[in-house]
């Protein structure tokens, strides 16, 4: 598993750490306030810290983080992209292009 975003709450972090191969890097939770006990980042706003985002960007740049792109849309078709996203069946990111 490349990264974990926990929104499930208490009890999911030990399994998340196992799935990440025993490491807590690239695991963040918005639902488990015991995150610090596990060495995991807790974000009350659901947004990773600037440092965490910078690290993810660095890893993406060197190919350590794979991001699946489902579709790209010109910005003028943002409404169509939102409609597609709302289906819940998109596998990968929908990208809006300028």
> d(Cα 24, Cα 3) in Å, to the nearest integer?
9
> d(Cα 72, Cα 81) in Å, to the nearest integer?
8
Per-residue pLDDT of the chain (98 residues; tens, 9 = 90+): 889 998 887 788 999 999 999 999 999 988 888 898 999 988 876 567 788 888 888 888 898 877 789 999 999 999 999 999 888 778 888 999 99
**What are the residues whose beta carbons fall under 8 Å from the beta carbon of 33, sequence distance 6 or more?**
42
Both tokens assigned to 5: 């975003």
> d(Cα 62, Cα 14) in Å, to the nearest integer?
28
């Amino acid at each position: 598993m490349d990264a974990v975003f926990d929104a499930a709450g208490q009890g999911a972090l030990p399994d998340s750490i196992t799935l990440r191969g025993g490491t807590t890097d690239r695991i963040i939770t918005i639902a488990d306030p015991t995150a610090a006990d596990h060495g995991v980042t807790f974000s009350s706003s659901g947004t990773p810290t600037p440092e965490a985002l910078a690290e993810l960007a660095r890893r993406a740049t060197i190919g350590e983080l794979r991001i699946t792109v489902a579709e790209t849309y010109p910005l003028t078709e943002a409404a169509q992209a939102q409609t597609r996203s709302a289906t819940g069946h998109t596998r990968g990111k929908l990208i809006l292009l300028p």
